[in-house]
Every structure is written in structure tokens, then in C-alpha cells.
Structure 1
Amino acid sequence: MPKRPEKSSIIHACIIKQQLEIEDFEKEISALKKEIYSHNETPSQGDSSAAERTEVLQRYESEVGFLKEELEILQGIDPNSEISQVAPGAVVVTNQRTFFISVSIEQVEVNGQDIFGLSTKAPIFQSLRGKKVGDKFDFNGIHYEIQDVY
């Protein structure tokens, strides 16, 4: 088994990824606001186009709020906590992939290993919750065996 990445490194990588995603959305929001509130709109631009942009702006602002809440969750995880069963804040190494029980983050690479951020709201978490090293479970037709939890 490869050397397990430190939880602090995993948290750090997830925080950076989350911050970058927030920054990307904030740039889009800024650009949309300039477009919507520009005083140089031409007569050919109809009200429906402005309404659509406003709707997109509201969705983006809502997404940024959600991402910021998830960032706070990440920042609140104690990298030194001792965890022996699957729970929020745990790193779970299986025969298929490594999960970090926190928030939904597609994937981060830490020390050459792919780590998948997994929200406690994700369906697979219900199959993982409370499991320990050596436990097995199936999810969506895939067999998992837990090799390490920390």
C-alpha cells in the first residue's frame, strides 16, 4: 500500500480547490453584473435576454454561497483527530479509491494519490457510515473493501 497522505495535506488541497472554484464563480458574477447593469445596452437587446442573465446571476450567487458554506466545513475539520470508523473528517482508503468524508469535491491529488471528497449527503456515504478497516460493502454494483480509515 502506498504511503498514506497526511490528512492536513488533503484538507489543504481541498481548501485550495474550493477557493479556486469560488474565485471562478465570483469572476463570472462580476462579468454578468457588468453586462446586466451596463448603461450601454443597445435597443436590440430584449428584456428576455436581461431576465435570463439576471436568473443566471442569481444561480451563480446561490452557488457561491453554497461553496462558501462547504469551505467553512473544510476549514473546521481537525487534521489531528483520531478516527477509526467512517465519519465526517475521515479519510477512507478502499480497494477502489480513497475518499475524504467532508464535502463534495470531485478529486484532488495529494502526494501522487487521487482523493475524492465525499459529502455526507452522497448516497454512497450511507453505505460507508460507521464502517471500519476490513469491512466490505457494495454500491452501484461495485465491491469495496475498506483498507484504512484515519
Structure 2
Amino acid sequence: MNQTERKHQIVEACKASINDRIAVISEDMNRLRDSAINSYDNEANNQWEGNEDEMMNDAGDLQSHLDYLVETAALFNRVDFGKEYDTVEPGAVVITDQRNFLVGAAGEFQCEGQGFIGIVASAPIYEEMKDRKVGETFTMNQITYKIKEIF
């Protein structure tokens, strides 16, 4: 498989991971709403008030996480993954001796049995690797990464 096909698979795996996480959070929110309705219908008012606070906190946490994932998907959709790169920049796949990265998305995902970390341009690690080429190194959190491939 050539690098273009490989990159396409990596980008699609990342997209699927983001969409899967959004679906899971949405399902969790629906279950929480259903649970809140059932609790209100089945319990005395004084018990409902205690559960209501807990459910509202859970709903707020889920909504924050969902908002983050939706923003991640929007950022992902604005990145040009269609070209080949010889330096690290948004849209590049970066294979190092330590980890594999996709610049332009946030979150971890798997592709063909390999782990990838999606990073955005505002991530501190991106600042360390930005504009580097194959064979160069960068250090983050006392770990030195040697770039093996960029595409």
C-alpha cells in the first residue's frame, strides 16, 4: 500500500473514532434523560431533588464532552489531509520511533493495529515538532522522538 492509501486509511480511522465517540456520548445523554424522567415519575419529590442534582452534574459533564468532540470534528473537517507533506504541519501523518501522530485532530485512535494520537496545532507537542523533517528529533516531557516518516 502506498503512502496516499495509507494516509487515507489513517484519516478515515480518525474520523470514525471521532464519530463513534460522539455517538456514545449522545447515547449516554439520552439514557440519562430517560433515567431522569423515570426517576421523577417513580420517586417521591424529596428523593428526586437529590438525584436531580447528580443527574444535572452528569448531564453537564456529558454536554461539555460532547461540545468538545463536536468542535474536534469541526476542526478535523477544516484540515487538508489530501496532500503529501515533507515537514510536520497540519494535515500530516508523523511516524516516530516512539508514537504515531495525525496533525489536525484530537484524541487517540487505532488504524490497522497501530495506535495514533491526533494532535491539533495548538498542542504543545505540535510546537515541538512543527516544521521538522524526517530524521530530525524533538523532545516533549523528557522524551525524545525521532521522526521516521512524514506524509
Say yes or no: TM over 0.5: yes
What's the Cα RMSD here?
2.1
Structure-1 residue corresponding to 2:76 = 74
Name the counterpart of 2:130. Answer: 129
Contact 2:95 2:148 in 1 (8 A): yes
Measured in 2, the distance between the counterparts of 1:3 and 1:142 equals 30
* Partner residue in 2 for 1:49: 51
CA distance in 2, matches of 1:29, 1:64: 9
Q: How many residues align?
A: 148
Q: Secondary structure at the match of 2:71?
A: helix
Q: Using the alignment, how far apart are the partners of 1:135 and 1:104 within structure 2?
A: 23
TM-score, normalization by structure 2: 0.85
C-alpha distance in 1 between matches for 2:43 and 2:137: 62
Please list the CA deviations of residues 48-96 of structure 1 after superposition, one character each: whole Å capped at 9, or x if unmatched: 3201211211221221122112112223333322322111111111111
**Aligned 8 A contact 1:109 1:115 in 2:** yes
Give the structure 1 partner of residue 106 of structure 2: 104
Cα distance in structure 2, aligned partners of 1:119 and 1:32: 31
| Deviation string, structure 1 residues 18-50 (Cα, Å, up to 9, x no partner) | 111111111110011112234413116241320
* CA gap 1:145/1:3 in 2 versus in 1, 3 angstroms: farther
Q: Which has the higher helix share?
A: 2
Q: Which residue of 2 aligns with 1:6?
A: 6
SS in 2 for 1:6: helix
Structure 2 counterpart of 1:115, one-letter code: F
CA distance in 1, matches of 2:125, 2:18: 21
CA distance in 2, matches of 1:139, 1:62: 28
- Counterpart of 2:89 in structure 1 is 87
CA contact 1:11–1:74 (8 Å) conserved in 2 = no
Task: Compute the TM-score of the two structures, normalised by the length of structure 1.
Answer: 0.85
Aligned 8 A contact 2:81 2:92 in 1:
no
Percent identity between the aligned chains? 26
Instruction: State the match for 1:34 in structure 2.
Output: 34
Gapped regions of structure 1 (runs ≥ 5): none
